[in-house]
């Protein structure tokens, strides 16, 4: 092998070509073998050690996070099951307190009986047109609202007992838009106006409930 008579940093392209041309077969074999060995070492040892290691660390961190999340979900599973059972029982209890189709026809008679028991006089009662207050879809296929406007008279405490007994009914009844004003001729008596709302199951929903 013939080397130029100058420092390596001053070699030109022609100098490199001259050196390559002067290499014998044995030297070429050594150079190629050394390059192959370096490539093998880089691929099987250096690359996994320095590049794949970072990727593996990231994968391990993600896996550990997923394991922790799974363990947390497993610990909370029983609590979620208990909550689900409570919610299902609550829904069942609420549905039991809804009126069946046709039951609200007896509602005015029940209110009249409560008024008589508490010493309250019913001045007027009027069912509302509920076409404008239907439940949104799809609940309108299961539930039907019933609204009544009432005007009653009675003493302050009597009216309180009257409203309390209505809202403590086994079936769900709500007193809304309650307004109270004293009567001019009777200081101890008041007039109350309110809307009574009830919810009944539709015919199709009532039949579906019986089949369950």
Give the per-residue pLDDT at 70: 73
**144 contacts 128 by C-beta, under 8 angstroms:** no
d(CA 107, CA 184) in angstroms, rounded, equals: 31
Give the per-residue pLDDT at 4: 57
Give the per-residue pLDDT at 76: 73
Residue 200 CB neighbours (<10 A):
21
Residue 191 CB neighbours (<10 A):
18
Contacts of 151 (CB under 8 A, 6+ apart): 122, 123, 124, 125, 191, 192, 193
Give the per-residue pLDDT at 124: 94
Give the per-residue pLDDT at 114: 95
Give the per-residue pLDDT at 161: 95
Strand partners, 182: 190
Q: Counting Cβ atoms within 10 Å, is residue 89 exposed (0-12), middle (13-18) or buried (19+)?
A: exposed
Mark 94-133 as b/e (b = at least 16 C-beta within 10 Å).
eeeebbeeeebeebeebbeebbeebebebeebeeeeeeee
Whether pTM exceeds 0.85: no
**147 contacts 197 by C-beta, under 8 angstroms:** yes
Give the per-residue pLDDT at 140: 83
Run of H or E residues at 147: strand 143-154
Our CA angle for 113, 115, 121, nearest 5°, is 125
123 CA to centre of own chain: 46
Reply yes or no on domain 103-211 having CATH 3.30.70.60: yes
Q: Which residues of the chain have pLDDT under 70?
A: 1-57, 59, 80, 132, 211-212
Instruction: Cite the residue boundaries of each domain of the chain with CATH code 3.30.70.60.
Output: 103-211
Give the per-residue pLDDT at 191: 93
Give the per-residue pLDDT at 11: 59
Strand partners, 181: 191
Give the per-residue pLDDT at 7: 67
Contacts of 90 (CB under 8 A, 6+ apart): none
């Amino acid at each position: 092998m013939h080397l130029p008579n100058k420092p390596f940093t001053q070699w030109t392209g022609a100098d490199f070509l001259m050196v390559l041309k002067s290499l014998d077969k044995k030297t070429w074999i050594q150079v190629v073998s050394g390059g192959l060995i370096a490539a093998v070492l880089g691929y099987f040892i250096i690359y996994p050690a320095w590049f794949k290691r970072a990727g593996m660390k990231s994968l391990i961190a993600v896996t550990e996070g997923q394991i922790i999340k799974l363990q947390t979900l497993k610990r909370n599973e029983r609590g979620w099951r208990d909550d689900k059972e409570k919610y299902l029982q609550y829904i069942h209890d609420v549905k039991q307190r809804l009126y069946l189709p046709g039951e609200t026809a007896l509602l005015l008679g029940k209110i009249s009986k409560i008024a008589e028991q508490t010493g309250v006089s019913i001045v007027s009662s009027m069912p509302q047109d509920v076409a404008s207050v239907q439940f949104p879809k799809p609940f309108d296929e299961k539930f039907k609202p019933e609204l009544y406007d009432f005007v009653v008279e009675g003493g302050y405490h009597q009216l309180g007992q009257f409203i309390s007994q209505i809202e403590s009914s086994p079936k769900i009844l709500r007193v809304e838009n309650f307004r109270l004003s004293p009567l001019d001729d009777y200081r101890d008596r008041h007039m109350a106006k309110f809307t009574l709302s009830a919810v009944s199951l539709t015919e199709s929903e009532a039949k579906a409930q019986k089949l369950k």
